[in-house]
Structure 1
Amino acid sequence: MKPKYLISFLLLCGVMFLSSSDYGNITLFPDSSSTKFVIRNDLQKYFRNCNVDGTIVILDINKSQWIVSDSIGSQMETLPASTFKIPNLLIALETGAIKDENEIVKWSGEADTATYGYRPEIYHDMSVKEAFDVSAVWVFIDLAKRIGRDNYSQYLKQCKYGNLNLSHEEDDFWNFGALGISPVNQILFLKGLYECKLPFSVKNMEVVKNIMITEQQDGYIIRSKTGWTNENGFKIGWWVGYLEKKEAVYFFATRLLQDAKIVDPYFGNCRKEITKEAFRALGIIE
C-alpha cells in the first residue's frame, strides 16, 4: 500500500526536511563507526493495520543503533501537539513560572470546545502534574502566558528543538501554527533529557522524568507523552518517550497521519499499539 496520507501531507504542507546545519553540531543520525542505521520497512504493516500512515523511530542507545520504519517520515517535521508538554514543563519550572509540579492552576470556568472538544473531566482546578498526566491543554495555555515567547525562544534554541518557528500568534503554538519537529529530533531531545544534558537544572529534569512515567512492568519502565492535533486536514498523532529495561534504554518516537475526515475511534489507541507491536517485533518486550 502506498503511503497516501504521507504523500498528500507532503504536498499540502511543502514540508521542509532537516539537515545537519539545522542542529549545529548535531546530525540526524550521528555519523561514526559505532553508529548503525537500520531501515525496517516491515514495521509499516502495523500502521497499515490501523488504516494510517506514519513513522516509528527507535534509538537503541546501548547498541548505538537507529531503527526507522521509513527514512522520509523520520525527518519530516509536523506540529508536536501535546508531546510539547515535556519541554513546556521544563521551561515552566526553570523560569519560575510555577514553583513546582504540584502548583494548582485555577480553572477559569470557560472551555473552547470548538477547538479542543468537550472534556468535562478536566474542567476543574488541578495541579500541573495532573494536567500533564491528563493532557489538559488549558493549564499549559495558562503557563504559556506566564512563560512568554522570549523565554520559549531562548530555551527551545538551546535545546535545538524542532524548527524553532514560534510565529503563531495564539498561545497554543504547539497545537496550531508553524512549529515543527521530526521523530528523529524528538528522540535527540529525549536523549538529552535522559542524560541530563539539556539547559535545565538536574532537579527540574528529574522532576519531569518522574512525571513522565506512564507504565511500570516487571521488566521495564516507560516514560512518555502522547500528542494529537489536526493540521491541513490531517490528524497527527504522537507517542514519544523511552523504555528502560535493566541496563538497556530504547528511545522512541511514533507519529501517525490520517485524513481528518475519517471517523476512527481507534486512532488514539493505535499510537501505543503500533509502538508496542514494533517493540515485540524487535524483541524489546514480549
Structure 2
Amino acid sequence: MKYVLLFLFSGIFNLQAQSYLDYYFKSNNIDGAIVIYNQNKDEWLFNSELEPFSNTPAAAHFQLWQALVGLEEKVFKTEVNKKQLWDGVKRSFFDERRPEWNNDTNLVDALKNKNDWYFDLLKNKLSEKSYLENIKNASLFKEIKNNEFLYFWNYAGLTNPNTMILFLKDLYEGNLPFNKKHQQFILNQLFINENLAIHTAETSYLGQKIDWTIGIYLKQDKPVYFSMRTYRSLETEKLEDYEKRKNLIISQIFDVLNF
C-alpha cells in the first residue's frame, strides 16, 4: 500500500530518493531518515522510500494543532500573563520527571516545555462535539488506533512526515482552518533564529524510542520544509552527544544539497 501511495504522490510532486543521504546518519552512528520538501524546485527528497508515509505517533507535534484549536475556541490566550493554574500534581513523561511542568503555565511556555497537562485542559474545556471533531478526529492524524488513552497522540494517534511537512507549509502560508493571527503566533514560537524554525517530539512506539524533528529553513527564496526521525531500541542508551550529532546530520545534509 505504501508503494501505491508513493506512486500516486509522485504524480503530483517531483520525488527524488537520495539514498546517499544515509551516509550522514551512519557516519554519526544514528539510525534515522529524513524527508525534505524544497519549495524552490517543488521537489521532495528522502533517503528512504518508506519514510514519507510511515506512520508513528504524532507525540508533541500534535500540541501545535491543540494550541490552534485552543486559541480558536478561546481556551488558550496568547498573552504571556494569561496562565493556567497548575493543580499541584507532579507528572512525568514516559517515567521521566518533568519539573518544568510543575508551575502555572502560559501557552508560550507550554509549547516550549511540551507540557502535556496544559494541552489536556482541552478535554474538559471544549464541548464534546468540538473535542471529538477537532482533537480526537483531527485531520493531522492519518491513522487512529485507539483514542481512549489520556494522551493518545503519544501512543495511537499516528501521522507521517509527509503530513507534518504539509501542515508546516499550510501554517507558514496561513492556510490552515484557523484564524491567521493564531497561525502566525504559533509559527513565531517555532523560530530559533530568523532563518530556522524547529519543533521536536519524542515518543516510544513498537519497541523503539523515536525522536522526531520537523522544521522550516528560510535561506532561499522559498521555504525548505523538513522532517527527520531517528530510532533506537528501548534497551539502547541515548548517545551523550545525541543532540549535537542530530543537528550535525541536518547541517551536513543541507550543505550537500546546497540549501
TM bracket, shorter-chain basis: 0.7 to 0.9
Query: What is the TM-score normalised by the length of structure 2?
Result: 0.87
1:275 aligns with 2:250: yes
Per the alignment, residue 140 of structure 1 pairs with 119
Per-residue deviation, 1:58: 0.6
- Aligned 8 A contact 1:77 1:162 in 2: no
> Comparing 160-169 with 145-154, which one deviates more in the overlay?
145-154
Which whole-Å CA distance do the structure 2 matches of 1:121 and 1:112 have between them?
10
Which whole-Å CA distance do the structure 1 matches of 2:207 and 2:143 have between them?
23
Query: What is the TM-score normalised by the length of structure 1?
Result: 0.79
Question: Aligned letter for 2:215?
Answer: G
- Once the two structures are superposed, the pairs formed by residues 66-145 of structure 1 within 5 Å of their partners are 66-100=44-78, 102=80, 103-113=82-92, 115-145=94-124
Per the alignment, residue 206 of structure 1 pairs with 184
Per the alignment, residue 183 of structure 1 pairs with 161
1:134-190 per-position Cα deviation (integer Å, ceiling 9, x unaligned):
2222322234443467435434699732325273323311112x2111111111111
Where does the alignment leave 5 or more consecutive residues of structure 1 unmatched?
1-15, 21-26
Per-residue deviation, 1:86: 1.3
Which whole-Å CA distance do the structure 2 matches of 1:41 and 1:173 have between them?
33
Which whole-Å CA distance do the structure 2 matches of 1:194 and 1:230 have between them?
29
User: SS state of the match for residue 225, structure 1?
Assistant: strand
Per-residue deviation, 1:79: 0.4
Question: Aligned letter for 1:95?
Answer: E
> Comparing 224-233 with 132-141, which one deviates more in the overlay?
132-141
1:54 aligns with 2:32: yes
Per the alignment, residue 197 of structure 1 pairs with 175
Question: Aligned letter for 1:213?
Answer: F
| Amino-acid identity (%) | 26
Residue among 262, 265, 268 paired with 2:236: 262
Question: Aligned letter for 2:85?
Answer: K
Per the alignment, residue 227 of structure 1 pairs with 201
> Comparing 238-247 with 66-75, which one deviates more in the overlay?
238-247
1:188-222 per-position Cα deviation (integer Å, ceiling 9, x unaligned):
11111122111111111111111121233xxxx11
Alpha-carbon spacing, 1:159–1:232, altered in 2? closer, same or farther (3 Å) = closer
> Comparing 247-256 with 161-170, which one deviates more in the overlay?
161-170
User: SS state of the match for residue 105, structure 1?
Assistant: coil
Per-residue deviation, 1:277: 2.2
Where does the alignment leave 5 or more consecutive residues of structure 2 unmatched?
none
Question: Aligned letter for 1:197?
Answer: N
Alpha-carbon spacing, 1:28–1:228, altered in 2? closer, same or farther (3 Å) = farther
> Comparing 251-260 with 47-56, which one deviates more in the overlay?
47-56
Per the alignment, residue 31 of structure 1 pairs with 11
Aligned residues: 257
> Comparing 129-138 with 110-119, which one deviates more in the overlay?
110-119
Which whole-Å CA distance do the structure 2 matches of 1:258 and 1:123 have between them?
29
Alpha-carbon spacing, 1:223–1:159, altered in 2? closer, same or farther (3 Å) = farther
Per the alignment, residue 247 of structure 1 pairs with 221
